[in-house]
């Protein structure tokens, strides 16, 4: 409860947007920051290495992005896939976004793209039966493994 209350208070100080707050509040999760966007480890990953590509400017409308923002977001997407492929050797990726809360966007007011590395057999019965997700790696360990891959590019 203390964690939730602290997070809520911090978000209120930052105008209520977790993606606007992450670079300043949780820099250890940010793998790379560009001029217009950044790459961050998802705090609630589907798989180890689940990344989010986020524009720095607060907007929930994809049509509002500038040409420069689009270019940097796409470059960070490619860089993220390259880093994950080199470090973790996934068999594939899920890449996408949810536009609007009806589509499943948990934070509909700030665009973000998901990059989820996938391996054969990476799904199991736990989410269905136990309503829990099992991850074999802590976020800090994932960050430690991936950070050098972003420093090299």
pLDDT bracket for residue 152 (50, 70, 90): low
pLDDT bracket for residue 62 (50, 70, 90): very high
Choose, from 50, 91, 110, 112, the residue flagged as catalytic.
112
Which of 27-41, 70-84, 108-122 is predicted with the least confidence, judged by mean pLDDT?
A: 108-122
> Which two tokens mark 8?
């809520």
- Output the pLDDT for position 51: 96
- Output the pLDDT for position 153: 58
Q: What are the C-alpha distances in Å from 6 to residues 2, 12, 20, 45, 46? A: 6, 10, 16, 21, 24
Q: What is the CA radius of gyration of the chain?
A: 16
DSSP 8-state class, residue 149? H
**Euclidean distance between CA atoms 98 and 107, whole angstroms:** 9
Reply yes or no on domain 2-152 having CATH 3.30.428.10: yes
pLDDT over 60 at 107, yes or no: yes
Average pLDDT over residues 49-76: 97
pLDDT bracket for residue 5 (50, 70, 90): low
Q: Is 114 a catalytic residue?
A: no
| CA pseudo-torsion sign 67, 70, 73, 74 | negative
pLDDT over 80 at 60, yes or no: yes
């Amino acid at each position: 409860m203390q964690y939730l209350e602290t997070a809520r208070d911090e978000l209120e100080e930052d105008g209520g947007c977790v993606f606007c707050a992450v670079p300043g509040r949780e820099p250890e999760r940010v793998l790379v920051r560009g001029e217009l966007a950044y790459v961050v480890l998802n705090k609630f990953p589907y798989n180890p290495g689940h990344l989010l590509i986020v524009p720095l400017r607060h907007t929930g409308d994809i049509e509002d992005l500038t040409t420069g923002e689009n270019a940097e977001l796409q470059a960070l997407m490619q860089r993220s896939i390259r880093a994950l492929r080199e470090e973790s050797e996934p068999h594939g990726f899920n890449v996408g976004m949810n536009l609007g809360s009806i589509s499943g966007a948990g934070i509909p007011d700030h665009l973000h793209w998901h990059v989820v590395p996938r391996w054969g057999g990476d799904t199991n019965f736990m989410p269905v039966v136990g309503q829990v997700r099992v991850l074999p790696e802590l976020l800090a360990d994932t960050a430690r493994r991936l950070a050098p891959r972003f420093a090299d590019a």
